[in-house]
Amino acid sequence: MLLAPLVIAAIALQPGPSLDPSVAHLVPASVSPPRIEGAGDCINPADRAAGLAAIAAWRAAHPSGYQSRSFPLTPFVPIGATLFADLLPPGYVDHDPTAGFQDYSCHNFTYDGHQGTDFGLRSFAEQDIGVPDFAVLPGVVTYYHDGEPDHSTCLCGTLANSIIVDHGNGLYGWYWHMATGTVVPHLGDSVEQGQQIGLAASSGNSAGPHIHFQLTDATGNTVYDPFAGPCGSAQSLWVNQPPLNLNTYIADFGYSTDNLSGIRGYPSRYPNTGQMGFDQFLWFWMQIVNLPANATWRQRYYRPDGSLAFDSGAIAFGNSELYRNSQYWFYTYYINDMRTIAGTWSIRFDINGVEAITAPIQVRPQATPGFNRPPAAVTVSFDPPSPTPGAALFARVNAPLALDDPDYDLVRYQYTWLINGQQVRSNTFAGRADALPASLVTPGTFIECRVTPSDGRAAAPTAIASVSLPGQCDPDVNQDGVADQGDVDYLINVVAGGSNPSGIDPDFNQDGVADQGDIDALINVIAGGQCP
């Protein structure tokens, strides 16, 4: 299951005095802290028994296992999203052998008996667009199961769509809760590092969309927590262990003119809008990560000219302890000027006196049917920045987290990968990351990833990341991020004695002279040919 289902609370109306007699005060409703005592692991006993039986059968047929090598390290989180951004905070391995629970960092960010790490999506809406799961290391599939429903919201003990991979040297990776029909490698198939193995979902014993990632020995009796810490393992299994993050932030946000009191939130996503008419009532909702104990909130409403229309002052959430993941909806204060002044209003929302978000909303005499604006522009970068041949390469989207679309639509991203100008992978995902498998990251290649954000109706400009691997030619001679006819024209000009602002060596084919042969070689590489 996903660690500790989101605390969901309404901030309900209660009449009271205010600066404006038409304004109503808001008070928090009571909520329960996110604890699940004795919940057991999210891989239910039947799932686990089937997986262990499959491992035993595999080992009987292949006594030496996948291959013998040094104990492998985990290079990345096995999902196409980014920790503490569009991924909810993880649910870690439980290191408390008693009925209690404690994670590697001595916090309670786990639950009793949890044997893996849960990396969760923010909603089913992201799952429905698609977020890929990836193999963290090469190996062979020793267990495979697919065909189960994948929108589970209960811990009902059902089977999950899943695989187990023999990653070598007695280490087995368990990848659980994937979407039905998307589990790609089958029993006995080889997988490589960074290969897509399915889409994240909520199949099996699960309360929301996520991947449960677990490392064990062949017996399943020894669980390897990849995270090292004072209350856990002494040795990290990460190449670079993700740090513990206790910062407070808003993971998702939206306005709505629908009555949210009758609409289910997580794991679904509340409806959203970027506008309201004078005659409409406005609500807003948010997912909060790391809400401190005894926290307060404050709302300030700003007119289109930037002047302050109303300040709620600090009001208590009513939480007696830290909420790792929580979701709240608010019915906005009734501001008279919002019924008469059109333009871009904004509401600033503070948590414990610190700005958490300032969210704009278009106010107009009447709401415009079909109103929509494209998402915010993004940038994209490679992880790691300097790729290693033979290792998977991630492209990560950099964009505002809760303000990535002016209408608060859920943004999806078209990832198009090219090697030496030839497309090798193209998919649309809701996650802010995608991976190129290790076998495609080779010396002598020019790698590009083009990312186009969209809300499903309108697109933002395409962002491009590119890199030349060592020991190869770079066809992007004009250094504009794209290998195309512009580079050919640039080299023609330089060979003819023109200016060379990018400072490239015009002897592209390295034959000792800058001439037509260099231009021909560049044209060949851009068309997908080999470097000279």
Q: Which amino acid is at 419?
A: I
The pTM assigned to this predicted structure is 0.84
pLDDT exceeds 60 at position 379: yes
Query: What was the pLDDT predicted at 42?
Result: 86
In this structure, what token pair is assigned to residue 53?
């039986």
Percent of the chain clearing pLDDT 70 (strictly above): 91
Q: Supply angle C-alpha 337, 308, 254, rounded to 5.
A: 75
Return the closest-CA partner of residue 126 out of 167, 88, 76, 169: 88
Mean pLDDT across the stretch 128-147?
Answer: 98
pLDDT in tens, 76-132: 999 999 999 999 999 999 999 888 899 999 999 998 889 999 999 999 999 999 999
Distance CA(390)–CA(192), nearest Å, equals 10
pLDDT exceeds 90 at position 483: no
Return the closest-CA partner of residue 257 out of 408, 403, 412: 408
Average pLDDT, the chain: 89
Query: What was the pLDDT predicted at 40?
Result: 61
Query: What was the pLDDT predicted at 20?
Result: 28
- CATH class of the domain at 372-472: mainly beta
Give yes or no on whether 45-216 and 372-472 have one common fold. no
Q: Which fold has domain 7-34+247-364?
A: Immunoglobulin-like (2.60.40)
Domain locations in the chain? 7-34+247-364, 45-216, 372-472, 479-532
pLDDT exceeds 60 at position 213: yes
Sign of CA dihedral 71, 228, 155, 432: negative
Dihedral, CA atoms, 260, 263, 266, 268, nearest 10 degrees? -120
pLDDT in tens, 315-369: 999 999 999 999 999 989 999 999 999 999 999 999 999 999 999 999 999 999 9
- CATH class of the domain at 45-216: mainly beta
Distance CA(130)–CA(115), nearest Å, equals 26
> 8 near 1, Cβ under 8 Å?
no
If you write DSSP's letter for every residue of 189-243 in order, what string do you get?
-EE-TT-EEEEBBB-SSBSSSEEEEEEE-TTS--B--S-B-TTSBSS--BSSPPP
